[in-house]
Amino acid sequence: MHAITQSGWIEVITGSMFSGKTEELLRRLRRAEIAGQEISVFKPEVDDRYGETTVGSHAGRSWEASVVPSEGEGVWQIVDELNGEDVVAIDEANFFSTELVDVCERLAADGKRVVISGLDQTYRGEPFEPLPQLMALAEYVDKLQAICTICGEPATRNQRLIDGEPAHVDEPTVLVGAEESYEARCRNCHTLRRD
């Protein structure tokens, strides 16, 4: 997929939930590993997740990931933890603040291949920073589609359901600990409660 280059670069894998972003990230990491490259994987601190975790919970190869702070200067821990790696992967990038943009630009300037996976839209169907900025700055962007659970067409949106009903447009974007679920939906089948 990639030309041999002396510089670093940013590649973004984005799309809705259930679109296969993490599988695509893992596929790229496996190929980098075969090529003998050194890889570090990072995920944001959300809920009560600290320390080490993994990317890829389904069958097949999973990767150890470092959990790093998602806000403010803490995001720079990604840079501090590196030790000469060729490839830096960042999963669930939508949970990071826009500080991640500067971190990724710095990594690419330092010659790293930066592979980012994350949602590009909130449950409202609005741009979900920092992915839109990262997509603009990246050398490569792949936007994957899921399958709409209602009509079977390609899905680009995240349908949020609270107690089985469409979420209200005024809910917080990230609601920790709520009884909620998500489905992939197309533009036509995506709904928001507005009453």
Annotated binding site for substrate, which residues?
174-177, 182
Considering the candidates 11, 45, 92, 183, report the single residue annotated as catalytic.
92
Cα pseudo-dihedral 124, 125, 127, 131, rounded to 10: 100
Closest distance to Zn ion from the beta carbon of 18 (Å):
13
Q: Is position 151 an interface residue for Zn ion (rule: CB under 5 A)? A: yes
Q: Which of 147, 150, 161, 192 binds Zn ion (CB under 5 A)?
A: 150
User: Which residues does the annotation place in the binding site for ATP?
Assistant: 15-22, 91-94
Cβ(71)–Cβ(97) below 8 Å: yes
In sequence order, the β-bridge partners of residue 64 are 54
- Assess whether 92 carries a catalytic annotation: yes
Q: Is position 189 an interface residue for Zn ion (rule: CB under 5 A)? A: yes
Which distant-in-sequence residues (6+ apart) come within 8 Å of 174 by Cβ?
A: 46, 95
Q: Is position 175 an interface residue for Zn ion (rule: CB under 5 A)? A: no
75 or 148: CB nearest Zn ion: 148
Which distant-in-sequence residues (6+ apart) come within 8 Å of 125 by Cβ?
A: 157, 158, 187, 190, 192
Q: Is position 17 an interface residue for Zn ion (rule: CB under 5 A)? A: no
- Of 55-94, binders to Zn ion (CB under 5 A) are none
Residues in contact with Zn ion, total (CB under 5 A)?
Answer: 6
Pairing mode, if any, of strands 113-119 and 9-15? parallel
Q: Is position 148 an interface residue for Zn ion (rule: CB under 5 A)? A: yes
Q: How far is CA 126 from CA 40, 66, 115, 173, in A?
A: 30, 29, 23, 10
Positions annotated as catalytic residues are 92
The residues binding Zn ion (CB under 5 A) are: 148, 150-151, 153, 186, 189
